[in-house]
A = this chain, B = another copy of it.
Amino acid sequence: MEANRIRGVLAPVVTPFKADLSPDRERFIAHCKWLLSQNCGLAVFGTNSEANSMSAEERMTLLDALVAAGMDSARMMPGTGCCSISETVELTAHAVNHGCAGVLMLPPFYYKNVGEEGLYRYFSEVVQRVGDTRLRIYLYHIPPVAVVGITPKLVERLLQAYPSAIAGMKDSSGDWNNTKTFLDAFAVRAGRADSTAGAARTFDVFVGSESFLLANICNGGAGTISATANVNPAAIYELYQMAVGASASTGAELEALQGRLNVVREVFARMSWPSMIAALKQAIAIYRNDPEWARVRPPLVGLTTEQARNLAAELEKIEFSIKLGGS
């Protein structure tokens, strides 16, 4: 297992937009700094970041800004998967050159029913074109949105061909059985030194919701990349730390904390997706007392006044609060 692989809790960082819908660099930097201060890594440009509502150039400019602001790229895993090899390679090479810990890569999601062979060729082209030993790809499985998904057979072939570049995956299927299948097939096995191949393989599985964090860690997973980490990073990180055994804790304590995380998650997950993105931004607007944060880019729409009021009431009811202020 590589010692320096990114693990733990990451947020698919929500992207603030100005009134003209351009990315709001200052608010983005402030939020990223706060997340890092909470031991939360930056999976910028994920689904919840509205990354696919931004151009490749807008994403690269924002990543440049984070690095220029002095943030540690070893704590970053930008989303770089587009529909085209050309754009995916451009974004990925850009992230690698910034020294990012890895990239979270959607499969090309426009053409449906493309099959494993086509996806294998796609990812192969990307790995070969980027051509950098520092490349660490985390395959992004999110069938409810991308429709095109990542299968165990695809991972098997890619790991065989590119054991160093294929570093892991994020499973946002919402189906624990699916996560377990990948863990059993790749993560656990990877823990053993494979003398035939000459090196131990590592395949790090991140769950797409902290609801599965405890189960994931107990089964050899690497952490979580979760939307709600945008607002609840400290508590999620606490569970991660307890689960990996950094602090002595009983099973009951772990379960209790997992239960508390789930209560918060549920408030946001209750919004039918993709309204969850608007709800997260609305929550940040509330805790920062900054209505600018509520803005989303079409085709997403912000919460209605009533939805926003209900969200505030629900968060108050569960006594949830965060200090988003200083960085």
Contact = CB atoms under 8 A, between A and B. Distances in A.
Interface of A: 21, 47, 52-58, 83-87, 90, 107-115, 117-119, 121-122, 124-125, 144-148, 272-274, 297-301
6 pairs of A and B residues whose beta carbons are closest in the complex = A118-B299, A52-B110, A121-B298, A122-B298, A55-B86, A114-B299
A56 B53 contact: no
Given A110-B52, A273-B113, A122 B85 contact: no
A114 to B, nearest CB: 4
A128 to B, nearest CB: 11
A282 B111 CA distance: 19
For A21, A85, A110, A145, the residue with the greatest tally of chain B CB atoms inside 10 Å of its CB is A110
A297 B83 CA distance: 11
A140 to B, nearest CB: 12
A85 to B, nearest CB: 7
A84 B55 contact: yes
B121 A301 contact: yes
A301 B108 CA distance: 13
A226 to B, nearest CB: 18
Nearest to A87: B55
A121 B56 contact: no
Given A118-B298, A118-B300, A122-B298, A108 B53 contact: yes
Nearest to A144: B112
